[in-house]
Amino acid sequence: SAHHSSDFSFDKDVPDVVPPMLGLHNYQDGAYAEDLANYHERSHADDWFGTEAMDVLVGWTKNLCSSKDLPGCSVLDIGTGSGRLLQQLAKQGFSDLTGIDYSEAAIELARNLAIRDGFEHINFLVDDVLESKLERRFELVMDEGTLDAIGLHPDGPVKR
């Protein structure tokens, strides 16, 4: 018999505290709206995770997929944010790239950056991973910060 996520013991041991802002949808929307405004004003957007972490993730991903035909390897980036991870994967030879985020501002920013940087082929969609409308399957699904935001949400035990 399957257990409801709130039946896990780690959820029962978590004290009632005010959740960090990172877990709230309106926080994400506000942060990406600010990044989008910066992009429109200065043609620049901040990287949330930094280039060193991105380089490690991209290198690991390329090695993981080295036995596959990289252009044919379908990749989904959950919580894509600015889409920088997918741009870096495109530079390594991946071409079937899709990024989803529940923040419309994040997707608008990702699209703008991709067009500016010559990555028009990357597909960006507004979609909530917890209630996804995607109908296709992907060989590789990546996340670089979405699961912690889900866990920090006030309804974290239910969403997990």
Smallest Cα–Cα separation from 96: which of 54, 68, 127, 59?
A: 68
Which fold does the domain 19-152 belong to in CATH?
Rossmann fold (3.40.50)
The dihedral sign for the CA sequence 75, 81, 86, 88: negative
Average pLDDT over residues 57-68: 79
Give pLDDT, residue 119. 97
For residue 33, pLDDT over 90 is answered with no
* Confidence band of 75 (pLDDT split at 50, 70, 90): very high
Which range is least confidently modeled, 52-56, 66-70, 120-124, 142-146? 66-70
State the Cα torsion 4-8-12-14 to the nearest 10°: -110
Please indicate whether residue 119 or residue 29 has the higher confidence score (pLDDT): 119
Give pLDDT, residue 152. 63
Give pLDDT, residue 150. 64
